Structure 1
């Protein structure tokens, strides 16, 4: 059974008629039908070969049931079962339906919050014991820096080259990491976006998660439900790709550019135009004349 709707009745199909059409008793209680754990409900025949048991109320989730049809069950012909017939079924177990994440305040250095939504009520502390996380290795393309660009940056700040190399290495290390990530239950989170509910579990990384990281979350398939003890035994996983490291990939044009056209800068993450404009300095370095700083205009919102 994959959904709650699947758990609304039990059908037993026989190979030959079990009742005479038109002679089915109004109050039906077949003595050969047993279900464990016991369930209150009503029986009816669909035709002469299908016995239907409808529980008086929805069956509890995450619960295994065993059904037995005794060997004493006899068909209209007088033939009986050679041996008891048994089968089992399990109502829907706890399964992860949706995963989301964010960094508090939108800051790159804030511990990521992971929001897990399940298909039924669960206990957050019990779920946390069955969720693991680790960094996942993935490709990383180092940002380009031409010799001329490196020389120019060094002229402005002698430490720029080393700082750039260190930042590239940190991003590359983050992309190559496969180390475990510790998780804890989040004490606070954005309850306006993610309203508390019985099917919601909110975890937070206790291990620093730098930009350019991927975090693989795994639910081990033994997450208990509040309703019953049955578990799916089917692991689920989800990979969170946090924001990329903040690098510029270059200009749209680097030579023989149209002076009457704009020349955009390609970044790997979104930037705030106002904040970036304050840090931007443009210098006219045309060969054969003295360098001069260009006048900045107000940034345009796109």
Structure 2
């Protein structure tokens, strides 16, 4: 476990960081305060360095927010757009060195547990956490905290950019998106070999499977329950109509497969919307619909955030 090296900050500096966090929370993702780092120009001038995994279109929107923050506070923010793996390796390297540049970082959910020892607890250096907690789904908040000394709960992360998967479908081949499991199966039978799920062996497979379990009223942590069995049996039946390449599909490959007409529908994150618009594929022929479909004879169960 790497020990953090605390660095001095003025009250104004910490207040500025937290004022910076709150507008981004309104944009919706996961934002963290890095425990090590060394913002500023070395002469006492505060500066915030924020590393996030962003597409070019997203980066432009973030820069607009950050420019407004700088205008209001006089504190510049350096936005570093890199991949999640690079952010993690940078934080770990700075922790080993005991110094660095990062103040705020965005990471993907699977990285939260291993990064906990390197994070600066937010309790006591920001306000409004309880109000934010009231506005966030309980399941999303559970991953933001960890036990501290004496078992007291510490807030290490803030929910930021919460989103759900959507169904991306070819409206020329599917005039209406499937609204139930029965309709999804019927569409699959009509377009055998053209159904896409992210079935590569990575966390995206879980993101595609779990919504079916939730829709059946099941709990992924109870795999032997009747509801989970129902969902898995349905997916087994649906898999007969998957594209043969599904074992290689991740977010980008499955989107490319649909762009090339190899599949008629798949489930993906909101980042695909601006990409499809740039390629003039949205709103036609591609369209987007709610990602989770209801099981037959049951009402829709609530989904869970990514």
TM-score by length of 1: 0.25
Q: Larger RCO: Structure 1 or Structure 2 (Cα < 8 Å, ≥ 6 residues apart)?
A: 2
- Higher normalized helix content (fraction of residues): 2
TM-score by length of 2: 0.24
Bigger Rg, structure 1 or 2:
1
- Higher normalized strand content (fraction of residues): 1
